[in-house]
């Protein structure tokens, strides 16, 4: 029965390690990863000790179990310091590691003929009592050092937790409570486990309990890590502030720029509700409520002194899950001053500005089209594809705007204009495809097709870089979606992300129909142009599998216009 207990706690440790690997991401603290690696090793030592039948086997198993005692407590302490944002110098880390290594080295000498073999255990004997192995030990001076180190590590951890709870408002209180429970339970089981059940070592169970709590901590870190990869690019510019809240409007964190704009954030405690600061709550709560009402990015202007800030409210994501809200804060003072200046101009000057603005937009659009044409010029199989698919998108959008043809979709003028404007950018990613593949005069091999498929994600990256400084955030978003997802399929079998159904942005679903239709009815180096009737049959057959079935009515209504356009070429 005792042996099964140790097997059980070892199995639980392995399951928890696998669960951690499932949620692991690069922003998790390295000490947490080491904890999940060391606990199964230490628990394996207890399994081997419970199944030992000779003194030699018992000593080897005992040495393995001391991996936890010598190193795990140290790693737990360093994890606590890291999560409490308390810096530990490199020299001190090395010194502590060397001290633990010295103790573990003395434990490894037990049962060997080397000098100092009795420094950890003065003597050790082995017996089987009712079939249960019992290792009797007389402790030496290095074991006393070992106990002292454990006490130092635990006391330091507890002190860091208590200090952070009292003084560090930017450290999650829930995380601190979980850390305290981990240390407290581990020490109770370490020093008092044998007194509760003399025949069973409870420390392995304490290790498993620690893994459970650290699994919860690791899961929550994604919420509090406000400098995650998506935010890093904003941080590097040094111009954007951001503030995070969960769905209950509990404060999760903010960066230094946001704190300069809203100094009250310095006094706002992590995990506490936004309502603890009445001023901030009265300002930010309506912004979030307006965002929830529109189900779209909410942009408001916030004035503080002589400065004006543009605040954008978006969902806070962890992976693909919505976990709360993020407020992005950008200094918009100069632009707002410029707008106010424009408003003072007379009608003639306003007309002139409008003409200049239209000219700039036209130049931008021509530049985008020119880039797309340049990319297309490398592809010897799709000449004219960009212009034809752009016209196809325009015809489909026009039909969606027609009375009764839009079905479940209500489209704004901005959305329609942006999708038509973004259509030429859908294949920009082909610029990164090797000429040997892109210009191949025939069908692709599976390997070549895999290389070609990379153009969707690469196109999204290129579009992002081209438009990252544009003020037209909605166009940027739509153009990136069109490039990224126009090869996704309604049934989830497309690429590059395997999105399905309405998880595919609407603009990409529209682009997909125009893209495939042109591929069918146009001549390629590896095929002749297909008849309108046959192309129509293929498109209709794909409704509900490749294409959005809700767009079937739109396509059917637009089909005569598409055929007229292609006949005119």
pLDDT in tens, 280-318: 999 999 988 888 887 666 788 888 888 888 888 988 877
Strands 240-246 and 132-139: unpaired
Q: Which residues of the chain have pLDDT under 50?
A: 227, 229-231, 233-236, 405-406
pLDDT at 405: 47
* Intrachain domains 2-223 and 229-341 with the same fold: no
C-alpha to C-alpha distance for 116 and 104, rounded to whole angstroms: 13
Fold of 2-223: Rhopdopsin 7-helix transmembrane proteins (1.20.1070)
C-alpha to C-alpha distance for 240 and 260, rounded to whole angstroms: 11
Q: Which two tokens stand for residue 448?
A: 């070549």
C-alpha to C-alpha distance for 274 and 188, rounded to whole angstroms: 37
Q: Which two tokens stand for residue 298?
A: 């909410």
Pick the CATH number of 229-341 from 3.50.50.60, 3.30.450.20, 3.55.40.20, 3.40.47.10: 3.30.450.20
How many degrees, rounded to 5, is the angle at CA 107 between CA 10 and CA 59? Answer: 60
Per domain, the residue ranges of the chain are: 2-223, 229-341, 347-567
Strand partners, 330: 240, 310
Strand partners, 485: none
Backbone angles phi, psi at 250, to 5 degrees: -85, 135
Estimate the crossing angle of helix 385-401 against helix 413-422, to 10 degrees.
170
Strand partners, 321: 318
Strand partners, 522: none
Strand partners, 543: 547
Residues 6+ away with beta carbon under 8 Å from 343: none
Residue entry with tokens 């996704």: 488
Strands 298-304 and 251-254: unpaired
> What is 382-395 written as a DSSP string?
-TTHHHHHHHHHHH
Does this model's pTM top 0.85? My answer is no
Strands 132-139 and 121-129: antiparallel
pLDDT at 185: 85
pLDDT at 78: 92
3-state helix, strand, coil in the chain (%, to 5): 65, 10, 25
pLDDT at 508: 93
Contact 76, 183 (CB under 8 A): yes
pLDDT at 229: 46
- For residue 200, the 8-state DSSP code is S
pLDDT in tens, 466-500: 888 777 889 889 999 999 999 999 999 999 999 99
Fold of 347-567: Hypothetical protein af1432 (1.10.3210)
Cis peptide before 21 (omega within 30 of 0): no
C-alpha to C-alpha distance for 71 and 35, rounded to whole angstroms: 9
Contact 98, 175 (CB under 8 A): no
Contact 149, 190 (CB under 8 A): no
């Amino acid at each position: 029965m005792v042996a099964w207990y140790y097997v059980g706690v070892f199995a639980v440790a392995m399951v928890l390690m696998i669960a951690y690997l499932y949620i692991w991401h690069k922003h998790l603290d390295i000490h947490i990863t080491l904890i999940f690696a060391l606990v199964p090793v230490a628990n394996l030592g207890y399994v081997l000790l419970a199944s030992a039948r000779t003194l030699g086997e018992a000593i080897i198993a005992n040495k393995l179990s001391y991996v936890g005692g010598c190193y795990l407590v140290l790693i737990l302490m360093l994890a606590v310091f890291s999560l409490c944002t308390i810096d530990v110098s490199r020299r001190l880390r090395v010194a502590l590691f060397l001290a633990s290594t010295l103790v573990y080295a003395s434990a490894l000498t037990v049962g060997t003929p080397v000098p100092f073999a009795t420094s950890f255990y003065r003597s050790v004997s082995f017996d089987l009592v009712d079939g249960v192995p019992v290792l009797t030990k007389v402790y030496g001076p290095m074991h006393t050092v070992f106990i002292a180190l454990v006490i130092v590590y635990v006391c330091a951890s507890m002190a860091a937790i208590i200090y952070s709870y009292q003084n560090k408002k930017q450290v999650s209180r829930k995380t601190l409570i979980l850390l305290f429970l981990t240390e407290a339970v581990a020490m109770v089981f370490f020093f008092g486990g044998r007194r509760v059940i003399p025949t069973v070592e409870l420390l392995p169970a304490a290790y498993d309990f620690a893994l459970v709590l650290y699994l919860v901590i690791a899961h929550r870190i994604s919420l509090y890590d406000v400098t995650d990869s998506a935010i890093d690019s904003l941080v590097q510019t040094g111009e954007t502030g951001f503030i995070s809240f969960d769905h209950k409007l509990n404060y999760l964190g903010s960066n230094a720029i946001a704190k300069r704009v809203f100094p009250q954030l310095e006094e706002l405690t992590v995990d506490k509700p936004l309502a603890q600061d009445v001023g901030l709550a009265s300002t930010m709560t309506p912004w979030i409520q307006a965002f929830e009402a529109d189900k779209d990015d909410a942009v408001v202007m916030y004035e503080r002194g002589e400065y004006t800030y543009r605040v954008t409210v978006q969902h806070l994501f962890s992976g693909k899950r919505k976990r709360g809200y993020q407020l992005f804060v950008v200094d918009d003072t100069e632009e707002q001053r410029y707008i106010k200046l424009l408003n003072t101009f007379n009608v003639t000057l306003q007309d002139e500005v409008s003409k200049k603005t239209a000219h700039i937009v036209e130049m931008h659009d021509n530049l985008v089209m020119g880039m797309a044409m340049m990319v297309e010029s490398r592809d010897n199989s799709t000449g004219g594809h960009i212009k034809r698919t752009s016209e196809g998108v325009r015809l489909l959008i026009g039909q969606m705007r027609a009375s009764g043809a839009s079905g479940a979709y209500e489209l704004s003028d901005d959305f329609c204009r942006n999708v038509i404007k973004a259509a030429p950018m859908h294949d920009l990613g082909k610029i990164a495809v090797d000429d040997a593949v892109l210009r191949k005069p025939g069908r692709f091999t599976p390997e070549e097709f895999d290389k070609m498929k990379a153009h969707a994600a690469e196109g999204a990256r290129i579009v992002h870089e081209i438009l990252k400084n544009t003020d037209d955030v909605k166009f940027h978003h739509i153009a990136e979606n069109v490039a990224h997802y126009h090869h996704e399929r309604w049934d989830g079998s497309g690429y590059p992300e395997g999105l399905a159904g309405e998880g595919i942005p609407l603009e990409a679903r529209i682009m997909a129909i125009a893209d495939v239709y042109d591929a069918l009815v146009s001549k390629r180096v590896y095929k002749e142009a297909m008849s309108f009737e046959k192309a129509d049959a293929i498109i209709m057959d794909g409704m509900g599998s490749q294409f959005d079935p809700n767009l079937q009515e739109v396509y059917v209504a637009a089909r005569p216009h598409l055929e007229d356009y292609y006949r005119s070429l």
